[in-house]
Structure 1
Amino acid sequence: MTQRTPALAHLAAAYGIATEFWDWQGRHTEVPDETVVAVLAALGVDVSGDFADRELDRAQEREWRRTLPPVLVIAGGESATLPMHVAPGDDVSAQLVTEEGAEHQLAVGGGKPEEREVDGVTVRRLLLEVPSDLPLGWHEVVVQAGGQGARMPLVVTPPRLGLPPGLAAEGAQGWGLMTQLYAMRSSSSWGIGDLADLGDAGAWAAGLGADFVLVNPLHAAEPVGEMEPSPYLPTSRRFVNPIYLRVEDVPEVGYLSAAQRQLLEWHADDAQRYLDLDTLERDPVWAAKEAALRLVHAQPRSLRRARAFEAYVEREGQGLVDFATWCAISQEHGTWWREWPQELQDARGEAVEAYRQEHEAEVDFHCWLQWVLDEQLARVQRDLLDTGMSLGVISDLAVGVHPDGADAWGLGDALARGVTVGAPADQYNQLGQDWSQPPWRPDKLAELGYAPYREMVRAALRDSGGLRVDHVIGLFRLWWIPEGAEPFQGTYVRYDHEAMIGILLLEAHRAGAVVIGEDLGTVEPWVRDYLRERGVMGTSILWFERDWEGDGRLLDPEDYRELCLATVTTHDLPPTAGYLEGVHVDLRSRLGLLDRPLEEEMAEEARSRDEVLTDLRRRGLLGEDADVTEQVQALHAFLTRTPAKLLGVSVSDLTGDTRVINQPGTDEEYPNWRVPLAGPDGKPVLLEEWVTWRSARRLARTVDTSGQDEGQPLPDAAEGARTKRTD
């Protein structure tokens, strides 16, 4: 065991590594030295032997070795000073060039400059005055000192993200669908829900007054072999999974010959035979769809279409080329890039460039897939806005990526090696969780001017009216676990949350989008306050909304947060009908996940559910003999009495589904993320079926407080809820 020294403690502090924390039970916990040493190593800091003092000196002097910091991120309207390090006596000039090309001279602040000896040379620190009236955007500071030049990105972000006009008014409230798109299928989709299905479901909801459709992460998965079923463990967060394409909607299908069209239909029939199964089969579906897409890709393009594709590739730049190259190499060597030939493991190496040129057609195919995805996503968003939705699609951003995926290969040391992301022990996972994902390196992100993070966020927002950020607390701190250690043996590493949140808000502001942070679980109290002040919505799940700082009572609806997305359920819980029936307790018992007897767990769950239902009865939202369907409706009617700006209704609740989508703490023990949308009888149900159901329409109208569709009589619970909101 490494003996903790003052140098080790100071190094940990310099790199934002926690050496202590308070656990979920309020106990003060010391982080083992082995953990601190391993996390420092993942950040490129070697503290073996007597190197700790040397590394500490380097850490304390690193900013003095730079003419300018790597990046500066500030909120609009704020004045700031920018440190610049030069030799005494150097002639200095500094200017700021805005994104639009305007130039501003930067003045050196008053006061006596600080000096320090670094490597035997005297270095002087000057402070440049940054104007407070800069426009929002990505600007650049350019300095000349002693004949040497230096440049630095300066990012000006919104102090607060405003709400769109339809939601900004006092008392305004919008609602929308929440769906796992792959599970929400139609008879026209190829065994997996696709973007055309997303558009059709959204159009149905828009007709009932909906403002958005919140969809699971559509991030890219493996292009060959077994496709990872979890949308929260993608191979890339910047690009999209082509399994969501509707093949027939690609314009070049029109150029297919009769024989080729017949072959495409054969592929479609092959994929659609999986619609009747009780579990989703991504691999054979993608095999059929990929074969059809290769047929379409080989067709000629009009000059207009060819130029549009070229423009897309140019816009996406090296990131797209890297992703497409990774896909091409994966076709030959598999998707685990750390098992590729050594010379192909370096994304910037000469061997990779040679491979790219040799396999130009395959790289082009994967670039083309992303282009047609971009087109179909944009079309869905345009169509939903045209139907009257105020937001349209709300995308979902996963917390991380697969360690052997395209991002882990292409982003290089921007992601930390030798550690994974997870969560410390809590009341639901008392040994902690390991999500097997490499985290961003805070130091490398800064050195790169946050460019990889910006491009990821920008891509997620491109065709969206909003972005849900999974585990938004990860923009403040993440739980790093050294490889080979247990999840509870990790520690927190802090990020520059002002930069991370600020850049997120800048890109959302430019996209005209809202941001929803998934802020459930263990959260430092000040973090929710900070997010609210910056205009980031929180997430409120009805079952968990209690006065946790007081007596633990259920929150009254008027005590809910205004700036939040309020829902009854989420993808880590069963659909509401299943939750009311306790199916999750039965499942956890069968899987051996309970830490107390089944009877005790069932009794506690029943007590908690009955407490909520009793409260609904007291408020006149639920009758004494109400069945499960009426209970689901009353729970959603309760949400309309809250001030929450957004209300979400799971498509699974619209169909009366009861099956669990994802059971945390399991892998192959349960078919997580492979359960198709079903009806109350547990049998798969297709989109064109459930949109005709009166029960689905009734539940949707329960949460619509806009006054639309007044010609139809409302259920009693919804009528009461609407009266409450109008008053």
Structure 2
Amino acid sequence: MTSLRPAEPPDADLTRLADLHGVATSYSPSPDRTVAASAAAVVAALAALDVDASTPGAARAALTARERELGARLLPPTVVWWGDAGASAGGDEGPAGGEFGARGAHGAGDAPGTREAGDELGVGEAGDAAVAPDTPGTPGSPEALLAALPTGTRVRVETEQGEVRDRVDGLPYGVHRLTVTAPDGRTQLTHLVVAPARLPTPSGRSYGLLVQLYSLLSRRSWGMGDLGDLAELSAWAGRALGAGFVQVNPLHAAVPGAPTDPSPYRPSSRRFPDPVHLRVESIPEFAYVEDRERVRTLLERAERLRAGVLDKGALIDRDAVWELKRQALELVRRVPLGPGRRAAYADFLAREGQALEDHATWCALAEVHGSDWHGWPEGLRNPRSAETARARAELMDRVDFHSRLAWLTDTQLTAAHNTAREAGMPIGIVHDLAVGVHPEGADAWAQQDHFAAGMSVGAPPDAFNARGQDWGLPPWRPDRLAESGHAPFRRLLRALFRCAGALRIDHVMGLFRLWWVPQGRPPTEGTYVRYDAEAMLALLVLEASRAGAVVIGEDLGTVEPGVRETLDRRGVLGTSVLWFERDWDGDGRPLPPERWRADCLATATTHDLPSTAARLTGEHVELRHRLGLLTRPLEEERAEAAADTGEWLALLTELGLLHGTSGGRGTPSEEAEIQAVHRFLLRTPARMIGLWLPDTVGDRRPQNLPGTWDQYPNWRLPVADAEGRPVTLEELASSPRLHALTDVLREGVPGERREG
């Protein structure tokens, strides 16, 4: 047996095998540099795909088997037919023409522009079979797809709408089951995705508020912001401020723990929202709880918890908030539902089906056995086992409790979005989709066949982080996704779009490829694994079109060539942050506003970056110095930060955007500089302008400081003013500083506000 050293590059057989499975053998941390992935990383990634390449002999055998498998394949697992741009996706007939995009007979491993011996699929001409994941699809017709198959091949289509056809032309938008049978008896089932070619461009221009919901406390919330606060913020921002949207952090269900991981980007489930966000008093049954003394006690404790954060400087304690709400919700559940409410709950159960049953079962089992399902009794680690079925029956009361919580939370989320639209917002609530899920959580348990065992998602070493990153999230397996027609992804999108006017996709580059890190190894010893981006984009466009929703991709950082262009071609907006927009191909100076892209959400900052006030004053450098995070002497860091800010302020002055002076000294005030930053954003052609809510009151503290864990209170800070004093939603509504800043944005985003 030949051992593979971590630094040893893959040989020819291993490289070829990896390519056929979509596993990269090299990556480019910068345009002028290519780094070979280690053979060990490639072997580990293949093993997670059930491919044995542990020895040269095993790799050769696996390569032979893979080439034989692909040679016998009639079609790839998923074929995409792009229809007319902007057409309805609600089930209407698709166009007779259009364009096809297929990953080729090799599935996830196709290399751009290649065609291997044995391929039988042709899209358009026979030599166009392999379509790179970042290309728009090859022009053609339904007949072109079939013409490349062996003569006499029979076709059967079961449409998403329940029809059975023997032709593929004129299919409605949707995900259909295409069965082809060759004359030699070979039969293959393929998922045919028919989607509009492009999402419609958002009408007009709008600005909106960006907020981490937990950080927005009102005098009615129980120690952290909730869905009642979101509805109140949306109604006020839409009616009084002319805002077009409110973007929130991921509201996905968290993994319970002691303490719970506060990051909204490592959820237990992305499919279901977290009931910790519930406004308990808004649940109709709450008013009918019989034990009023117990209710009064809980409300008094909630008041003390809220006062601790708002008046005494305590951090947001998610676990304490949930413990209070859990007790209140146990009381609420004892109140019988009325006939109408019971019917609505029954509809919810029917609509969510197996996914909800799995989620609620995991929650019930976690109460008994702890949240890490890997440590449960062996039979319970399998969601489809007889032991799990018996446990579900025994815990049915708790399963129903958690199902009820999912329904209540979904109801309040929908109500918040409806409130936003009724307040005149053309977009409404913008939800955030995390890039993955916690390995111990409900989704990882229920969908474990779709996750790559022993792998974690992260980022390779680059100029900003020489050690790379490990995010601790198990990646989806591209092969299992393809085999299922990307069913988990489709169900996830459909659930999120039900109560959203737009969806922000964190690390949208993950639709194309993800950096897989073998468990127990540093991020430097990982490699990229490619996904069927053509299919995933088609599903994204299909479901967003059906919902009439906007899609925003978080495409910051290192992005492989072609990705931004592909997303733009499909109508997915990008994300542009002021401080990063420089002429990187030229002199590196701040990018003039007219050179910004139009199809984006433009902002001054994000939850992972310093607030605008902190950046303008240099306080973000001081914070990192206090925490020992600087890699260079303090004076060097200060000088670089000041030079960066100085270049931007000089451009703002040159453009005549910087108004006002401070204390008669002839220098602009901090507030004037923040206003100038947002005037600059208005000068760009960006279709959406995002205003970080803490910037409206001069907050200095970032909500999250990457690279820290217990050194900094990530995800636990309330919105605060320049002195660090928490500011309630009620105080925000009467803040002169906030109104002065939003007036700047309202003047630059003209148009009639739509009344509800």
Q: TM-score, normalised by structure 2?
A: 0.86
Shift of 1:224: 5.0
Structure 2 residue 193 is matched with structure 1 residue 186:
no
Question: Of 146, 171, 177, which residue of structure 2 is paired with 1:140?
Answer: 177
> For the residues of structure 1 that align with 2:536 and 2:306, how far apart are their CA atoms?
42
Report SS of the residue matched to 2:721.
coil
AA paired with 2:299?
E
- After superposition, the Cα gap between the structure-2 partners of 1:601 and 1:148, relative to the gap in structure 1 and judged at 3 Å, is closer
After superposition, what is the alpha-carbon deviation per residue over 1:254-283, rounded to whole angstroms, capped at 9, x for unaligned?
321244543543453354344333311111
Q: Is the 8 A contact 1:153 1:449 kept in 2?
A: yes
AA paired with 2:460?
P
More moved, 187-196 vs 204-213: 204-213
After superposition, what is the alpha-carbon deviation per residue over 1:357-397, rounded to whole angstroms, capped at 9, x for unaligned?
10001011111111011110111111111110000000001
Match of 2:32 in 1: 26
> For the residues of structure 2 that align with 1:340 and 1:97, how far apart are their CA atoms?
40
Q: Is the 8 A contact 1:64 1:85 kept in 2?
A: no
Match of 1:8 in 2: 14
- After superposition, the Cα gap between the structure-2 partners of 1:423 and 1:360, relative to the gap in structure 1 and judged at 3 Å, is same
Report SS of the residue matched to 1:280.
coil
Structure 2 residue 592 is matched with structure 1 residue 556:
yes
Q: Is the 8 A contact 1:96 1:140 kept in 2?
A: yes
AA paired with 1:520?
L
> For the residues of structure 1 that align with 2:208 and 2:679, how far apart are their CA atoms?
14
Shift of 1:150: 5.7
Structure 2 residue 201 is matched with structure 1 residue 163:
yes
AA paired with 1:451?
A
> For the residues of structure 2 that align with 1:72 and 1:294, how far apart are their CA atoms?
48
Match of 2:614 in 1: 578
Match of 2:118 in 1: none
Structure 2 residue 157 is matched with structure 1 residue 96:
yes
Question: Of 178, 203, 207, which residue of structure 1 is paired with 2:235?
Answer: 203
Q: Is the 8 A contact 2:456 2:518 kept in 1?
A: yes
Match of 2:88 in 1: none
Match of 2:79 in 1: 72
AA paired with 1:100?
Q
Question: Of 247, 262, 265, which residue of structure 2 is paired with 1:214?
Answer: 247
More moved, 189-198 vs 153-162: 153-162
Q: Is the 8 A contact 1:416 1:439 kept in 2?
A: yes
More moved, 502-511 vs 140-149: 140-149
Shift of 1:43: 1.1
More moved, 252-261 vs 501-510: 252-261
Shift of 1:45: 0.7
Shift of 1:461: 1.4
AA paired with 2:205?
Q
Report SS of the residue matched to 2:272.
strand
Shift of 1:331: 0.6
AA paired with 1:21?
Y
Q: TM-score, normalised by structure 1?
A: 0.90
Shift of 1:100: 2.6
Shift of 1:5: 3.3
Shift of 1:19: 0.9
- After superposition, the Cα gap between the structure-2 partners of 1:487 and 1:148, relative to the gap in structure 1 and judged at 3 Å, is closer
Match of 1:118 in 2: none
> For the residues of structure 1 that align with 2:207 and 2:69, how far apart are their CA atoms?
50
> For the residues of structure 1 that align with 2:752 and 2:646, how far apart are their CA atoms?
33
Match of 1:265 in 2: 299
> For the residues of structure 1 that align with 2:225 and 2:159, how far apart are their CA atoms?
44
> For the residues of structure 1 that align with 2:146 and 2:348, how far apart are their CA atoms?
38
Report SS of the residue matched to 1:525.
coil
Structure 2 residue 44 is matched with structure 1 residue 38:
yes
Shift of 1:135: 2.3
Shift of 1:605: 0.6
> For the residues of structure 2 that align with 1:365 and 1:580, how far apart are their CA atoms?
49
Shift of 1:64: 4.9
Shift of 1:27: 2.2
Q: Is the 8 A contact 2:467 2:524 kept in 1?
A: yes
After superposition, what is the alpha-carbon deviation per residue over 1:50-88, rounded to whole angstroms, capped at 9, x for unaligned?
2111111221222455676433233122225557999x9
> For the residues of structure 1 that align with 2:658 and 2:305, how far apart are their CA atoms?
44
RMSD: 2.2
AA paired with 1:703?
L
> For the residues of structure 1 that align with 2:189 and 2:512, how far apart are their CA atoms?
27
Q: Is the 8 A contact 1:279 1:674 kept in 2?
A: yes
> For the residues of structure 2 that align with 1:402 and 1:412, how far apart are their CA atoms?
12
Match of 2:491 in 1: 455
Question: Of 626, 631, 647, which residue of structure 1 is paired with 2:668?
Answer: 626
> For the residues of structure 1 that align with 2:266 and 2:647, how far apart are their CA atoms?
36
- After superposition, the Cα gap between the structure-2 partners of 1:337 and 1:85, relative to the gap in structure 1 and judged at 3 Å, is farther
After superposition, what is the alpha-carbon deviation per residue over 1:590-641, rounded to whole angstroms, capped at 9, x for unaligned?
2232221110011001000000001111111114511111111110111111
% identical aligned pairs: 48
Shift of 1:6: 2.3
- After superposition, the Cα gap between the structure-2 partners of 1:60 and 1:25, relative to the gap in structure 1 and judged at 3 Å, is closer
Structure 2 residue 438 is matched with structure 1 residue 413:
no
> For the residues of structure 2 that align with 1:709 and 1:156, how far apart are their CA atoms?
36
Question: Of 512, 531, 538, which residue of structure 1 is paired with 2:574?
Answer: 538
1:390-429 pair list within 5 angstroms? 390-429=426-465
Q: Is the 8 A contact 1:68 1:85 kept in 2?
A: no
Report SS of the residue matched to 2:567.
helix
Shift of 1:31: 1.0
More moved, 524-533 vs 628-637: 524-533
User: Which ranges in structure 2 are unaligned for 5 or more consecutive residues?
Assistant: 84-97, 100-140, 660-665
> For the residues of structure 1 that align with 2:655 and 2:305, how far apart are their CA atoms?
49
Q: Is the 8 A contact 2:208 2:245 kept in 1?
A: yes
Structure 2 residue 723 is matched with structure 1 residue 685:
no
AA paired with 2:259?
E
1:420-499 pair list within 5 angstroms? 420-499=456-535
Question: Of 291, 297, 301, which residue of structure 1 is paired with 2:333?
Answer: 297
1:513-524 pair list within 5 angstroms? 513-524=549-560
Report SS of the residue matched to 1:434.
strand
User: Which ranges in structure 1 are unaligned for 5 or more consecutive residues?
Assistant: 107-129, 711-727
1:643-654 pair list within 5 angstroms? 643-654=685-696
After superposition, what is the alpha-carbon deviation per residue over 1:221-257, rounded to whole angstroms, capped at 9, x for unaligned?
0245422111111111111111100001111113212
> For the residues of structure 2 that align with 1:84 and 1:442, how far apart are their CA atoms?
28
